[in-house]
Amino acid sequence: MKKLGVILAYTFAFIMMLLYFFPKIELYYTLEEFLKNKEIVFSDEKLKDKGFRLSSNDSKLYYRGVYGGDIENINLSTLLLYNSLSFKNAYLNSALAEILPKKIEYLDVTYAIYNPMNITIDGKGDIGKIDGYINPFSKLLHIELKVAKKEKTKYATLLRKFKPDEKGVLIYELRY
Amino acid sequence: MNLDISRYSKTVVTLLILAAIAKALSLGSIYFLNKKGVSQEIDNSYTMPYKSYRFSKPFGIVDVVVKSEDIAKVNEPVYNLSSLELKAIYKTSKTGSDGGFIVALDNTKGKRSVFIKMLSEYNGYTLKELTNEKATFERNGKKYKLEFEKKKSSALLTEPIARPKSPKYSDDVIRAVSKSEVHKYTKDFKSIWKSISIKEVKQNGKIDGFKVTSIKQGTIFDKLGLRKDDIIMSVNNKPMKSYASAFKIYKDVKTMTSLKITVKRDNQIKDLEYEIY
């Protein structure tokens, strides 16, 4: 039993070392290449490998070559049992202010062992509070948006695809 | 005590070996990953702002600017004068507005030859204009044209020529659009979507223009002379090869004084030119 404990401890230590030494910057570049095929580009960012997480500061977001906005900070953590991608303070292009919210305070996308069936989404911005999940097994994206009345009129174009439930929460679902 | 040191050193050595293996595996994985990031290429090259310049200007020949509200007049109906058969046109000036006459056969009078002088009246029709191809008469504010090789008719009848189906607005004029109308659209992004829909046209996987899939009648885009199925190839000589170039035009249009949209229409390249006043 003691021997099994020692083996488990060494295995855990090895996994942690693997995660620590894993080339996160190169992993990020690979992810960037994947996103490029979807015409999404993060440019001019300053990358920093912080051991168990990767931090990207001051990146510019482009979609189909059109400047979308600045993102102050992006954090990517891969701890095997807890993985997260979080965006902090995204300021979107003012030229698109009529259709998109100007600022997103934060947006966290998390995949953790305590909720193995879903990748959760949690965020807050000018438009309101965002909650949702992606179920990779049923290939479903579900987003719930709590929007103030004023914002509903302001972002009518963006919210056209959302449907309100009984509580007035706007819901968007996509099967991919 | 000796036993403990040996056990600690064994643990440390094992952990170091594991760390070395983990590092080696991590370094090995770099081989399968991208070594370079992706950056957005931005066109920082300076290009002179587009100005519509015509060589005739220095010689004092100024283009006629047709205001959008006047465009409808360009297409006012012209009627055929089918009771006469045009045989010859004689002009005393290039434009034919100063003088001249025509020789025609009157079908109502047994094909009798008639001479009609410029600005003179014949059966209530006044000869107003002469060109190499036709004579234009006027009666009760309506225009009637007489061309060579026209169908004969037994009576002095007039028949309207079918107006072109589309566009309502003529193609071969330099249009003028007011700045305020342009600004209205730049301020209200959503109204653009309501007025026009475009879709990228791809060739070999790359964008090669934008196709107009729908256009709302009466909107500025309709007035500009754009038509459904037109492929917008370039704006102010800048090729529309990306969404970024299209978006740049949207951003810069506020400062433009002239605009040239090159479209592919029925497999022919056509320039639509505008003055923004």
pLDDT digits (tens, 9 = 90+) for B90-109: 776 655 566 778 888 887 76
Asked if the model's pLDDT at residue B67 lies above 50, the reply is no
Enumerate the H helices of B80-232 as residue ranges. Answer: 179-187, 189-195, 220-223
Residue A167 inside a domain? The answer is yes
Are the Cβ atoms of A98 and B190 closer than 8 angstroms?
yes
Helix or strand holding residue A149 (H, E)? helix A149-154
Pair (A69, A144) in one structural domain: no
Residue B220 inside a domain? The answer is yes
Domain boundary among A75, A94, A109: A75
Residue A32 inside a domain? The answer is yes
Chain B residues in contact with A18 (beta carbon < 8 A): 22, 25-26
Chain A residues in contact with B19 (beta carbon < 8 A): 17, 21
Identify the contact set of chain B against chain A, taking CB-CB distances under 8 A. Answer: 14-15, 18-19, 21-23, 25-27, 29-30, 33-40, 188-190, 193, 242-245, 247, 250-251
Of the candidates B232, B199, B211, B215, the one whose C-alpha atom is nearest the C-alpha of residue B166 is B215
Pairing of strands B78-81, B142-147: parallel
Pair (A42, A103) in one structural domain: no
Chain B residues in contact with A10 (beta carbon < 8 A): 14-15, 18
Contact between A146 and A137 under an 8 Å Cβ cutoff? The reply is no
Q: Which pLDDT score, from 0 to 100, does residue B54 have?
A: 54
Select the residue of B26, B193, B244 nearest A18 (Cβ to Cβ).
B26
Mutate which of B8, B17, B31, B33 to test chain A, going by most A C-beta atoms within 10 A?
Answer: B33
Q: Give me chain A's average pLDDT, please.
A: 89
Beta bridge pairs of residue B260: B273
- The upper half-sphere exposure of residue B15, i.e. CA atoms within 13 Å in the direction of its Cβ, equals 12
Q: Look at chain B and report how many structural domains it folds into.
A: 2
Asked if the model's pLDDT at residue B164 lies above 50, the reply is no
Q: Is the bond preceding residue A164 a cis peptide, omega within 30 degrees?
A: no
Pair (B97, B145) in one structural domain: yes
Select the residue of A17, A41, A96 nearest B19 (Cβ to Cβ).
A17
Chain A residues in contact with B33 (beta carbon < 8 A): 23, 26-27, 29-30
Of the candidates B34, B252, B43, the one whose C-alpha atom is nearest the C-alpha of residue A62 is B43
Q: Please give the interface size between A and B, counted as residue pairs whose CB atoms are below 8 Å apart.
A: 92
pLDDT confidence bin for A105, thresholds 50/70/90: very high
Asked if the model's pLDDT at residue B75 lies above 90, the reply is no
Pair (B179, B226) in one structural domain: yes
Asked if the model's pLDDT at residue A102 lies above 60, the reply is yes
Answer with the residue of higher pLDDT: B256 or A72.
A72
Sorted by sequence, the CB contacts under 8 Å of residue B213 that are 6+ apart come out as: B197, B198, B199, B228
* Digit-coded pLDDT (tens) for A29-71: 999 999 999 889 999 999 999 989 999 999 999 988 888 899 9
| Closest-CA residue of chain A to B36 | A29
Residue B258 inside a domain? The answer is yes
Phi, psi of B82 (to 5 degrees): -95, 0
* Digit-coded pLDDT (tens) for B23-53: 999 999 999 999 898 888 776 666 666 665 5
Q: Look at chain A and report how many structural domains it folds into.
A: 2
The enclosing domain of B187 has a CATH number of 2.30.42.10
The pLDDT > 70 percentage for chain A reads 99
Residue B37 inside a domain? The answer is no
Asked if the model's pLDDT at residue A24 lies above 60, the reply is yes
- Extract the tokens encoding B147: 């061309």
Pair (A51, A118) in one structural domain: no
* Digit-coded pLDDT (tens) for B122-141: 888 888 888 877 888 888 88
Are the Cβ atoms of A65 and B242 closer than 8 angstroms?
yes
- Alpha-carbon gap: B9 to the closest alpha carbon of chain A (Å): 15
Q: Which pLDDT score, from 0 to 100, does residue B62 have?
A: 46
Are the Cβ atoms of B189 and A30 closer than 8 angstroms?
no
- The upper half-sphere exposure of residue A90, i.e. CA atoms within 13 Å in the direction of its Cβ, equals 27
Residue A69 inside a domain? The answer is yes
Are the Cβ atoms of A41 and B40 closer than 8 angstroms?
yes
Mean predicted confidence (pLDDT) in A114-131: 92
Domain range enclosing B119: 77-160
Contact between A105 and A89 under an 8 Å Cβ cutoff? The reply is yes
Pair (B192, B269) in one structural domain: yes
Answer with the residue of higher pLDDT: B204 or B95.
B204
Domain boundary among B160, B195, B226: B160
Residue A3 inside a domain? The answer is no
- Alpha-carbon gap: B83 to the closest alpha carbon of chain A (Å): 59
Pair (A167, A94) in one structural domain: yes
Are the Cβ atoms of A41 and B38 closer than 8 angstroms?
yes
d(CA B60, CA B52): 16
Chain A residues in contact with B239 (beta carbon < 8 A): none
- Alpha-carbon gap: B28 to the closest alpha carbon of chain A (Å): 10
Compute the radius of gyration of chain B from its Cα atoms.
35
Contact between B228 and B215 under an 8 Å Cβ cutoff? The reply is yes
Are the Cβ atoms of A29 and B247 closer than 8 angstroms?
no
Residue A4 inside a domain? The answer is no
Answer with the residue of higher pLDDT: B155 or A66.
A66
Pair (B260, B223) in one structural domain: yes
